[in-house]
Amino acid sequence: MTTYLLCGARLLGGAPTDVLLGEGRILALGASAAEDDRASSAEVVEAAGLVALPGLVDLHTHLREPGREDAETVASGTRAAALGGFTAVHAMANTSPVADTAGVVEQVWRLGRDAGWVDVHPVGAVSVGLAGTHLAELGAMANSAARVRVFSDDGHCVDDPVLMRRALEYVKAFDGVVAQHAQEPRLTQGAQMHEGIVSAEVGLAGWPAVAEEAIIARDVLLAEHVGSRLHVCHLSTAGSVEIIRWAKARGIPVTAEVTPHHLLLTDELARTYDPLYKVNPPLRTDADVEAVRAGLADGTIDIVATDHAPHTREDKDCEWAAAAFGMTGLETALAIVTSVMVTAGRMDWADVARVLSSAPARIGRIDQGERAQGRPLEVGEPANLTLVDPDARWTVDPAGLASASTNTPYGGRELVGQVRATFLRGRPTVLDGLAVEPVRDAGALP
Ligand SMILES: NC(=O)N[C@@H](CC(=O)O)C(=O)O
Ligand SMILES: [Zn+2]
Ligand SMILES: [Zn+2]
Question: Is residue 18 within 8 Å of 7, Cβ to Cβ?
Answer: yes
DSSP state of 382: B
* CATH (residue range 4-52+381-389+414-435): 2.30.40.10
- What is the per-residue pLDDT for 446? 43
The model's pLDDT over 149-162, given as tens digits with 9 standing for 90+, comes to 999 999 999 999 99
Ligand nearest to C-alpha 91: 3
The interface pTM score, or ipTM, of the predicted complex is: 0.99
CB burial of 386-423 (b: ≥16 within 10 Å; e: otherwise) equals: bbbbbebebebebeebbbbbbbbbbeebebbbbbbbbb
Where in the sequence numbering do the catalytic residues fall? 307
**H-run or E-run covering 445:** none
Model confidence pLDDT, tens digit, residues 31-89: 899 899 999 999 999 999 999 999 999 999 999 999 999 999 999 999 999 999 999 99
The residue whose CA has the least distance to atom 3 of ligand 1 is 326
Q: Whose CA is nearest to atom 4 of ligand 1?
A: 326
CATH architecture of 55-363: Alpha-Beta Barrel (3.20)
Alpha carbon distance 177, 194 (integer Å): 28
Which residues in the chain come in under a pLDDT of 70?
A: 368-375, 442-446
Q: Where are the domains of the chain?
A: 4-52+381-389+414-435, 55-363
Nearest Cα to 262, choosing from 203, 341, 197? Answer: 341
pLDDT on residue 441: 73
Rounded to whole angstroms, how far apart are CA atoms 165 and 170?
9
Which protein residues touch ligand 1 with a CB less than 6 Å away? Answer: 62, 94, 154-155, 181, 279-280, 307, 309, 325-326
The annotation status of 64 as a binding-site residue, yes or no, is: yes
Report the Cα–Cα distance between both ends of the chain, in Å, rounded. Answer: 17
